[in-house]
With several copies, the nearest count.
Chain A
Amino acid sequence: MLEIIADIKRDYIKRIVESGKRLDGRGPDDYREIKIERDLYKTAEGSALVSIGGTQVIAGVKMILGEPFPDMPNQGVLTTSAELIPMASPTFEAGPPKPPAIEVARVVDRGIRESGAIDTEKLCIVEGEKVWVVFLDLHVLDYDGNLFDASTLASISALLSAKMPKLEDDRVIYDERKDPLPVKEKPISTTYAKIGGTVVLDPSLEEEQVLDARLTLATVESGDLCAMQKGGSGAFTKEEVLNTIDRGIEKAKELRKLLKV
C-alpha cells in the first residue's frame, strides 16, 4: 500500500516537472531561498550556517599544527569531513560516515582543492616539517534536499570568514585570531536533477526521492569547471550534460554574488 502511494507520488512529481512546473512553484532554474550566516561559533576559526529551503548545513573550520605530506613539503593540508547526523533526517543513522556522507565530503573537497581555493603554500610554517592542517567539518542539521550546493556554499563561506589562530613557540593560541585564512578562489557548486526527461536546478527532498540522475558541477570565477559528479541510478544523454553545464556556469555567477557581503 505504501509502495502504491509512493508510485503515485513519483508519477505526480514527474508529470509536474515535465510540464515545466515544480511542486513548490519554482521554475526549472530557480533555487529555493538561500540564507548564509557567517562566523557563528567562537570556538571555530571560521564557520557558516547555510540554508537552502529547508536544508541547513553548518561548515566549521578548525586549524591545528601538523606535518605536510611528503610529496608536498611546502603546503598546508586540508581535510574535509561530513556528518549526516540523525537529527537531520529520519533516514540518517548514527555511526561512521556512510557512502552518501563520504560522497558529499569528497565532492566538496574536490571543488575546494581543484579550484585552488586555499593558498596552501601560505599555510606552510617550516618546509617539510610543520604546516597548518585545516579541518573543514560539514554538519548537516536539516536535510531537505541538495546537500551538495548547501555544503559547498557553507564551506567557502566558512573559509572566507576564518581567521588564523596565533602561533607562539609552537603553541596554538585559539583565543587570539588575527590574519584571515588565505583564500584565493571561490568555487561554486550547482546541482541539477533529471526527472523524467527534464533537468531542474536545486532538487528538493521530494524531487531527490524520484530523480533519475543528478549532476553537480563546480565552477570558478572565470567560469571554468573544476569538479563534476554524476549521481543516481539513471543516466544523462550527451546533450543533457552539455546543456546542464551551460546552465550551471550561468547560475554560478548569480550565486557567487551571495558571497560578497
Chain B
Amino acid sequence: MKKEGVKLIENGKRLDGRGLDELRPIKMEIGVLKRADGSAYVEWGENKIMAACYGPREVHPRHVEEPDRAIVRVRYNMAPFSVPDRKRPGPDRRSVEISKVTKEALEPVVLTHLFPRTVVDIFIEVLQANAGTRCAGITAAALAMADAGIPMRDLVASCAAGKIDGKVALDLMGLEDNYGEADLPVALAPNKKQVTLLQMDGNFTRAEFEEAFEKALGGCLKVYEMQKKTIRKKYEV
C-alpha cells in the first residue's frame, strides 16, 4: 500500500500547503434531501459525501429485529464515478468492512433501548473520494442522524492521523495516503471522550502511535465544533 520515493513534506509544509496539524477545508450542510428523514452533505478536502438517515422505522426482513432495542444498519457505498478508475456498482469487500466499522462507530451513541423492534438505517454515498472517506462519512452520518431527530446521547466526530516522511500528521489526503507510512482513522463521541472507531495500518512505534492518536482525537474535536455549528445554523431563523 505504501510506497517510497515521493517527498511529502518540504520546509515543514505538506504538498497542499498545510502544516502537520492542519485539517483540510471542511464544509457541512444538513437537510439536503427531501425523502430521507435526515440528511447531510460534507465536503472534506476533495471528498464529497452525502449521508442520509431513515428511522426509527419497521425492520425488513422481520427476523433481524431485536425485541429490546433498535438495530442500526449502515451502507457505505462509492459512486462509480467517485474514483479515477471507475468502481463497479455494488459492495466490494472494502465497503462491506467500512460499513461494519462505521455502524460500530455510530451505534454507541444511539439510545437504541428507547425504540425496540425498529431500525435506524444510515446510507453514506461517496460522490468524490480522496482519502479519509470513512471519517467524512461517519461525520456526515452523525449529522444526518441528528437531522432525523434520532435520540442520541452524543454526536460522533471522526478524523484520521497518519505518518508521512517519518512524521506524524493530521488528516492525510490522497497522495499522502498512497505514499505515507501509516494511517489511523479514529471516531470520538466527544462528551464522554469515547473512542468508537479505531483502525490502523502501516507502521507506528508505540510513541508514534500515541502522538498520532492524540492528534486524531484533537481533529475529532475540531470536527465536532463544526458539526455543532452546522446543526445550530439549521435552527437559527
A142 in complex: contacting residue of B2, B33, B91, B194, CB < 8 Å? B33
B203 in complex: contacting residue of A83, A215, A225, CB < 8 Å? A225
Report whether A141 and B50 are in contact in the complex, using a CB–CB cutoff of 8 Å: yes
Interface pick from A18-26, A195-203, A233-241, A253-261: A233-241
Report whether B195 and A238 are in contact in the complex, using a CB–CB cutoff of 8 Å: yes
Docked pose: A223 CA to B172 CA in angstroms: 24
Residues of A within 8 A of B197 (CB): 230
Report whether B200 and A237 are in contact in the complex, using a CB–CB cutoff of 8 Å: no
Report whether B200 and A231 are in contact in the complex, using a CB–CB cutoff of 8 Å: no
Cβ of B21 under 8 Å from chain A: no
Cβ of B93 under 8 Å from chain A: yes
What are the interface flags for A151-174 relative to B under an 8 Å C-beta threshold, 1 for contact and 0 otherwise? 000000000000000000000001
Cβ of B22 under 8 Å from chain A: no
A219: min CB distance to chain B, Å = 9
B89 in complex: contacting residue of A44, A81, A110, A141, CB < 8 Å? A81
A60 in complex: contacting residue of B79, B121, B193, CB < 8 Å? B79
Interface SS of B by simple majority: mixed
Q: Contacts A41-B128, A64-B86; is A87 near B198 (CB within 8 Å)?
A: no
Q: Contacts A62-B81, A94-B75, A241-B213; is A224 near B203 (CB within 8 Å)?
A: yes
Report whether A143 and B35 are in contact in the complex, using a CB–CB cutoff of 8 Å: yes
Residues of B within 8 A of A144 (CB): 34-35
A240: min CB distance to chain B, Å = 8
What are the interface flags for A25-60 relative to B under an 8 Å C-beta threshold, 1 for contact and 0 otherwise? 000000000000000111110010000001010101
Cβ of B107 under 8 Å from chain A: yes
Docked pose: A166 CA to B203 CA in angstroms: 34
Cβ of B1 under 8 Å from chain A: yes
Residues of A within 8 A of B123 (CB): 85-87
Q: Contacts A85-B123, A139-B125; is A90 near B48 (CB within 8 Å)?
A: no
Residues of A within 8 A of B50 (CB): 87, 141
19 A-B pairs in the complex with CB atoms less than 8 angstroms apart: A40-B128, A41-B127, A42-B46, A43-B83, A44-B82, A47-B81, A88-B33, A100-B100, A103-B101, A113-B1, A139-B80, A225-B200, A227-B201, A228-B184, A230-B101, A233-B104, A238-B193, A238-B195, A241-B198
